[in-house]
Amino acid sequence: MSADGWEVLETRVSRLENQNRWLKAFCVIFCLTVICGCSMGHAKAGTTVEAQTLLLRDKNGDITAEMQTINGEPRLLLTGPNRQREVEISPYGVKFSHDGPALKGPIAQYSDLGVYLSNGDGKPVLEIGGGGRTSDYSTPVPEIKLFDDTGKSIFLAP
C-alpha cells in the first residue's frame, strides 16, 4: 500500500474508534435509563403519616427526639443522655438547656428578638439584640446588655 492509502485507512480507523466510543457511552446511558425507569415503575407510592407527636427512641427505649405541634406551632426537641441536655427548635427560635448537676435551665436562646446567654441558675448574663428597654419585648432593640450575678444590668451598649 502507498503512504496515501495508509493515511486514509488510519483516518477511517480513528473515526470508527471515535464513533465506537460514543456508541458505547450512549448504550450505557440508555441501559441505565431503562433500568432506572423500570425500577421506578415498580416502586410503590409513599404514604403520608399524620400524627400530633412523633417520637424517636434509642435502642434502650429512651426518647431522643420529639417532633410535635403545640397550639398549632411546630416544635422539635432533641435530647441527650438521661435528658440532661436539650435543644429545642421552634418558630420562636432555638434554645439549648442543660439540666445536669451543675446547671439548671436554659444556657442559650436565639430568637427573632436576639441572643440570650444565661448562667447555671437561669439568670441572664448577656443579651444581644433582645427586647431591651421595651416593656412588651415584641420589637428587637439593637443593644448589648451585660448582667451581674443577681441578674441586674451592669452594662448597656445601645
Structural domain count, the chain: 2
Q: Are residues 103 and 127 in the same domain?
A: yes
- What confidence score (pLDDT) does residue 145 get? 83
Q: CB–CB of 110/94 below 8 Å?
A: yes
- Choice between 72 and 67, residue whose per-residue pLDDT is larger: 67
Helix (H, G, I), strand (E, B) or coil at 84: coil
| Mean pLDDT of the region 3-29 | 87
The phi-psi region of residue 83 (left if phi > 0; otherwise alpha if psi is between -120 and 50; otherwise beta) is: left
Show the cell assigned to 89: 427548635
Q: Are residues 72 and 135 in the same domain?
A: yes
Q: What is the pLDDT of residues 30-42, one digit of tens each?
A: 888 888 887 776 6
Q: Are residues 37 and 109 in the same domain?
A: no
Q: Are residues 39 and 78 in the same domain?
A: no
Residue 64 φ then ψ, to 5°: -110, -20
Q: Are residues 94 and 59 in the same domain?
A: yes
Q: Are residues 32 and 69 in the same domain?
A: no
Q: State the burial class of residue 127 (Cβ atoms within 10 Å of its Cβ: 0-12, 13-18, 19+).
A: buried
Show the cell assigned to 43: 416502586
Could you tell me the pTM of the whole model? 0.45
Q: CB–CB of 30/22 below 8 Å?
A: no
| Mean pLDDT of the region 94-118 | 68
Residue 105's domain spans which residues?
Answer: 53-157
* Cα first-last separation, the chain: 93
Least confident of 13-17, 26-30, 92-96, 102-106: 102-106
- Choice between 114 and 12, residue whose per-residue pLDDT is larger: 12
Show the cell assigned to 132: 431591651
Q: Are residues 79 and 105 in the same domain?
A: yes
> Could you tell me which residues are beta bridge partners of residue 96?
87, 108
Residues, the chain: 158
Q: Are residues 92 and 143 in the same domain?
A: yes
